Amino acid sequence: MVLVTLKKYHGLGNDYLIYDPNQNRELLQERQIQLLCRRNTGVGADGILSGPVLENEKIKVRIFNPDGSEAERSGNGIRIFSKYLKDAGYVKEKCYELWTKAGPVQVEFLDEDASRMKVDMGYAAFGADSIHAVGFEGDMINESVFFCDNFYNITCVSMGNPNCVVMMEEISKNKALHLGPYVENSKYFPNRINMQLCHVVDRENIQIEIYERGAGYTYASGTGACAAASAAHKLGLVGNRVQVHMQGGDLLVEFAEDDRVFMTGPVVYIGSITLAENFFA
């Protein structure tokens, strides 16, 4: 009998399952990821974090969306996985480096139980080539683009993963649910893209609604928060310290003098799950 054990955490309602290959013998396939992430018939999650993979003194994590596709990076996923590494004893230092498909990030734990941390997310990139957009050249800043039923002003941002930030005076979950599928699957983005509807409240606060590729409507997103704040910052609408308000809660995004992006936020441990023997049957 092969038992599969998972850990579950959430960051502002954005929940992930941790699959540790060092503790399990089962090799997760696309269909198994889909089964696990289903809310009603599986465990339920916005994605799966597989790791740690320990190679050449590097700590690596693989990030999977609920549809089984692999993501380059996840801001909430980075924080969640970092807390798991602390909880499981893999990491004992206050600061460490985690490798994602998009490259390394630096993580600083801000308290003893690793429930809050600050992550160096690197630099936002605005070039069409960085998000693999077609039909555009150079930076995609405040572009007027037709989606579904109207023209929208968008700024595209790579935070290691591709994001389309749509600036709006009013945003809502219903608007995100309506527009999200059109943006995610637009002909301009052959690799698909994450979408954030963004309303600038003032120089220090923005509100966003999120629709993620391979996941759909999401309560919170770390990379999405960084992307939206970076877009607003690039457009001169906010300063160097921005509170990003989402359905699941708030993240602090800060910009260094060289525009390097830092994200600070919480993580909560939910519990441990042991799958039924015939779950994957």
Q: What is the pLDDT of residues 42-97, one digit of tens each?
A: 999 999 999 999 989 899 999 999 999 999 999 999 999 999 999 999 999 999 99
Domain residues for the domain of 85 are 5-121+267-274
Number of domains in the chain: 2
Tokens read off for 236: 């001169």
The answer on 135 and 249 residing in a single domain is yes
The answer on 192 and 79 residing in a single domain is no
Ligand-binding site membership of 213 (annotated): yes
In this prediction, residues 19-38 reach a mean pLDDT of 93
pLDDT score for 27: 82
The answer on 176 and 88 residing in a single domain is no
Cβ count within 10 A of residue 73 = 22
The answer on 58 and 133 residing in a single domain is no
Question: What's the CATH code of the domain at 245?
Answer: 3.10.310.10
Residue 119 contacts residue 225 (beta carbons within 8 Å): no
Cα–Cα dist 252/269, whole Å:
20
pLDDT at 38 over 80: yes
The answer on 145 and 107 residing in a single domain is no
Ligand-binding site membership of 163 (annotated): no
The answer on 137 and 101 residing in a single domain is no
Ligand-binding site membership of 142 (annotated): no
pLDDT level of residue 40 (50, 70, 90 thresholds): very high
pLDDT score for 149: 85
In this prediction, residues 115-138 reach a mean pLDDT of 97
Q: Is residue 279 assigned to a domain?
A: no
| Mean pLDDT computed over every residue of the chain | 96
pLDDT score for 2: 63
pLDDT score for 106: 98
Cα–Cα dist 89/125, whole Å:
34
The answer on 172 and 80 residing in a single domain is no
Ligand-binding site membership of 155 (annotated): no
pLDDT score for 250: 98
pLDDT score for 3: 79
The answer on 134 and 115 residing in a single domain is no
Cα–Cα dist 235/4, whole Å:
47
pLDDT score for 277: 86
In this prediction, residues 5-18 reach a mean pLDDT of 97
Ligand-binding site membership of 161 (annotated): yes
The answer on 197 and 102 residing in a single domain is no
Residue 133 dihedral angles phi and psi, to the nearest 5°: -85, 150
Ligand-binding site membership of 223 (annotated): yes
pLDDT at 1 over 90: no
Q: Is residue 280 assigned to a domain?
A: no
In this prediction, residues 160-168 reach a mean pLDDT of 97
The answer on 240 and 166 residing in a single domain is yes
Share of the chain above pLDDT 70, in %: 99
Q: Is residue 281 assigned to a domain?
A: no
